[in-house]
Amino acid sequence: MSSKRKLVLSILAASAVIGAIALTTAVLFAVGVVPVPYAEASPAAAPSDVLGVGQRVASLEGFEATGKVPVAEAELPETLTTAPARAQAPVPKPKPVARPAAAAPSRAVAAGGWQSAKVSWYGPGFYGRRTASGAVLTQGMMNVAHKSLPFGTRIQFEYKGRTATAVVNDRGPYIHGRVFDLGPGTAQALGFSGVGTVKYRVLGR
């Protein structure tokens, strides 16, 4: 018989012996031949003031339960109870509106001496209408229109040996190159018609 076979047979025999011993011991415990020790808790009843292992609770004697949980009263910051003040935007100031400057008097009417100017005249078709100063234009009115001279300014005209004095009470003419627009009575007194050049001087108001 080889050595390997002998070793195997020895292991099997040992296993069989161990199994027989274990089975015998189990049978003995089952039938009560060998007593089984049981662990007992000590102490049997826990003290009334013990909540858990090593944890004791304080005595509740003298404590009156109200059913309410006390809340600490703390003052809240004012920033939480008051709405922040809104910054007021500055009111923009209105920009000054530039007024159109009044047309400066022509150089020809600035001095008091005699000057020359290109003029025209008006009348037919405008009778009964109001001038810029509010006067009602009539057929014989001794007036004259100018772009900027103050109303009431008196001007003396000369044309082909005739002279006449007129008062500014209207605005015009609005054709480039013309300085005065003679009213119907002024043009008739001078014997003037159409468009032409006359002499004039400003007398004042």
What pLDDT, on the 0 to 100 scale, is given for residue 28? Answer: 75
CATH code of the domain covering residue 175: 2.40.40.10
Is 100 a domain residue?
A: no
Number of residues that make up the chain? 205
Interval 51-72: pLDDT, tens: 444 444 444 455 454 454 444 4
**108 touches 146 (CB < 8 A):** no
Is 176 a domain residue?
A: yes
Burial grade of 188 (CB within 10 A; 0-12, 13-18, 19 or more): middle
Is 154 a domain residue?
A: yes
**191 touches 160 (CB < 8 A):** yes
Is 174 a domain residue?
A: yes
Q: How many CB atoms lie within 10 A of CB 178?
A: 16
Give the integer Cα–Cα distance in Å for 173 and 179: 7
What pLDDT, on the 0 to 100 scale, is given for residue 102? Answer: 43
196 has pLDDT over 90: yes
Is 187 a domain residue?
A: yes
Is 169 a domain residue?
A: yes
pTM for this prediction: 0.48
Interval 5-43: pLDDT, tens: 888 788 888 888 898 888 887 777 777 666 655 545 445
What pLDDT, on the 0 to 100 scale, is given for residue 119? Answer: 98
Is 48 a domain residue?
A: no
What pLDDT, on the 0 to 100 scale, is given for residue 176? Answer: 95
pLDDT band at 3 (very low <50, low <70, confident <90, very high): confident
What pLDDT, on the 0 to 100 scale, is given for residue 71? Answer: 46
Count structural domains, the chain.
1
Interval 97-154: pLDDT, tens: 655 444 444 444 555 799 999 999 999 999 999 999 999 999 999 999 999 999 999 9
Is 137 a domain residue?
A: yes
What pLDDT, on the 0 to 100 scale, is given for residue 52? Answer: 47
Residue 132 lies in domain: 107-204
